[in-house]
Structure 1
Amino acid sequence: MSYDLMVFDADTAPRDREAFMEWYAQQTQWGEGHSYEDASVTTPRLRAWYEAMKAVWFPMNGPDAIFNELPDDSPLWDDDHVTGYTIGRASIYCDFRWSKAEEARSAVVTLAKKHEVGFFDVSEDQGIIAFPGDNFT
């Protein structure tokens, strides 16, 4: 299992929790008909968030994956910052190693606030759903 978080386009996602959860379920069907590894499909704010995240939380797959050009003996093969990103038009779903949950959440929240995107803690029961301007950590 992984520690999962999501950031989203605040102008697209509903603010009501029940409606948001329905929207989330639709987003995670991955039925938009594009590669979910390509940041060019998402909004400018989400893309800026992703660009900042991938500098430390390395993409596991896709065109930005660190593994594409690593030598076999690179220590990055075992780095705990390797992250799975599933990139949609209005959301980016991230899966982290549980050993890095606290550090990952801090980075995701900090950058969500900076880039004015929403945040959803997928891994928590009744996880926080936060929009830009909300007070959350």
Structure 2
Amino acid sequence: MSYDILAFDPGCVTDADFSEWWDAQSEWTEDHSYSDVGVTTADLQVFYRDLAQVFPPMNGPGAPTGEAIRDDPELESRTSSYAIGTSLVYVAFAWSQAKEARRVFGALAEKHGVAVAWVSDNSSIVRP
């Protein structure tokens, strides 16, 4: 299991419609790679780039090399699984990173003006 958080474009869905929207989004049916940050909004792109500096993707572009992990043994515990859609960035963190992930994710979401759904907590939504 993982500790999951979702960042999304605050203009793409209302809180009232969020559950239905998220059910559709989590089918992952958009016609693109879900590891390509270029498919999402400008705000979510810069949000992702900042977040990946602390929690790099475990796969795909930007994933640390074996050499980088050997040089920084703590790096592996921070690698996270990302799914990037046209209006969202979904991240699955290791549970050991939950507290720090929540802190960093929330601060970056506020900085970049993106909304957050605390999926692994109570699915509450925080908007800019």
TM-score tier, shorter chain, comes to over 0.9
For residues 41-84 of structure 1, give each alpha carbon's deviation from its aligned partner in whole angstroms, at most 9, with x where no partner exists. 000000010010011111111112113xx338715576211011
Alignment of 1:1-137 (within 5 A): 1-16=1-16, 19-67=17-65, 70-71=66-67, 74-76=70-72, 79-124=76-121, 126-132=122-128
Contact 1:46 1:115 in 2 (8 A): yes
Alignment length, in residue pairs? 127
Among all aligned residue pairs of Structure 1 and Structure 2, give the percentage whose two residues are the same amino acid: 38
Change (3 A) 1:76 1:10: same
Counterpart code for 2:126: A
> Matched residues in 2 for 1:97 and 1:127: separation?
18
Counterpart code for 1:5: I
Gaps of 5+ in 2: none
TM-score, L = length of structure 1: 0.86
Q: Which has the higher helix share?
A: 2
Q: Tell me how large the CA RMSD over aligned residues is.
A: 1.6
> Matched residues in 2 for 1:51 and 1:4: separation?
18
SS of the aligned residue for 1:34 comes to coil
Q: Segments of 4+ in structure 1 off by > 4 A?
A: 75-78
Pairwise CA distance, 1:127: 2.0
